[in-house]
Amino acid sequence: MFYGLNNDELKLLDQALDTINKLYPRIFAGDHLITVGRCMAFLDDQKFMAAYNKNVRNRQERSLLWRLHTLAWAGRHCSRLPGSFVECGVYKGFCSAVLTDYLDFSTAQASRSYYLYDTFEGIPVDHLEGSPVDKDSYKEADLYEQVCERFRPHPNVRVIKGRVPDVFSVQEVPDQIAFLHIDMNSATAEIGALEVLFERVVPGGMIIFDDYGWQAYRAQKDQENAFMDARDYSILELPTGQGLVVKREA
C-alpha cells in the first residue's frame, strides 16, 4: 500500500512497475517500499509463506510481508536463546500470529512464553503526543476477547490487557527476554516499555521497533535514539522502516 497517492497516481505507478517487472522478475512494491532486482529469498521459505498466508486478513496486512520477514528472521535467531518473547502493541495479533505459527511456538517452544501486552482499547490519550495516530485508532469491540481466541491454540501465549508501562507493575513481566517487538505508535509508551524491559533482554537478544524509520513517527526515533545513545547502542534503520538492536554481553 502507498498512502497519499490518488487513483491516477497509483495507476501510473502500476504501469511503471509492470514495465520494470518485465526486466526484473522479482519486484517488491508495497508498505512504502519499492525494490528491484533483489532475491527476496523469503518468498522461497515455504514455512514462512505458509504462516504469513494463513494469518493475513486484509490488504494492509498483506503489504507487511517484508516486515514480517524481519520478525521471522529475528524470532528464529532468538528461539535459540534463553528468555521469553514479548510484543508491546498487539492490536489484532497479526505479527505474533505469524511468528507463533512459523516457530511452532506451542510445541517447539513449549518451555517458553510469549507475552502480548496491549490496552486493546487504542493508544491512551496522554500517550498521543508526537504520534500521527488519533485517539480513535485501534479501537474495536471485544478486541481483547478476539485476540485471546486467536491464540487459544498456543497455551504458552499470554495475552495481557493493560497500559504499558503501568501494566508491568501489576501483571507478570518476564525476567529474561530473548525477543522484544515494540509497536505502540507512541514515543511515551515505547520509552516506558524500554525503561522496564531493556535490562531484561539477554545477550544476543533482539529488539525490533516497528515504526522507527518512518518520518511520521519521528518522535519515536528521536527518543529511542536518545535512550540507546545513553547506553552506547545505536539502532539500525532497516529499509522496511523497522529499527533493530542486538543486545550485547555488557
Positions touching ligand SAM (CB under 6 A) are 89-92, 94-95, 117-119, 122-124, 127, 138, 163-164, 183-186, 189
- Measured from the CB atom, the residue of 20 and 196 that comes closer to ligand SAM is 196
Identify the three-state secondary structure at position 173: coil
Nearer to ligand SAM, 28 or 214 (CB): 214
- Which of 74/95 has CB closer to ligand SAM? 95
Please state the closest distance from residue 140 (CB atom) to ligand SAM, in A: 9
The least CB distance from residue 87 to ligand SAM, in Å, is: 6
Which of 52, 117 has the CB closer to ligand SAM? Answer: 117
Cβ proximity to ligand SAM, 138 vs 179, nearer residue: 138
DSSP symbol at 120: S
Residue 190 CB, nearest approach to ligand SAM (Å): 8
Q: How far is the CB of 27 from ligand SAM (least distance, A)?
A: 25
The number of residues in the chain equals: 250
Query: Which of 219, 216, 230, 215 has the alpha carbon at shortest distance from 190?
Result: 219
Strand extents, DSSP E, 119-242: 157-161, 177-182, 201-209, 236-237
Shortest Å, Cβ 203 to ligand SAM: 25
Question: How far apart are CB 70 and ligand SAM at their closest, in Å?
Answer: 13
Report in angstroms the alpha-carbon separations of 100 from 95, 107, 146, 223, 234.
Answer: 9, 10, 16, 30, 28
Beta-ladder partners of 201 = 177
Could you tell me what percentage of the chain is helix, strand and coil, using 3-state DSSP and rounding each to the nearest 5?
40, 20, 40
Nearest to ligand SAM of 18, 121 (CB atom): 121
- Count of alpha carbons within 13 angstroms of residue 28, beta-carbon side: 21
Sign of CA dihedral 95, 225, 189, 115: positive
**Least distance (Å) between residue 112 CB and ligand SAM:** 19
CA distances from 244 to 65, 102, 154 (A): 17, 20, 27
Omega within 30 of 0 (cis) for the link into 165: yes
Q: Which is nearer to ligand SAM, 158 or 163 (CB)?
A: 163
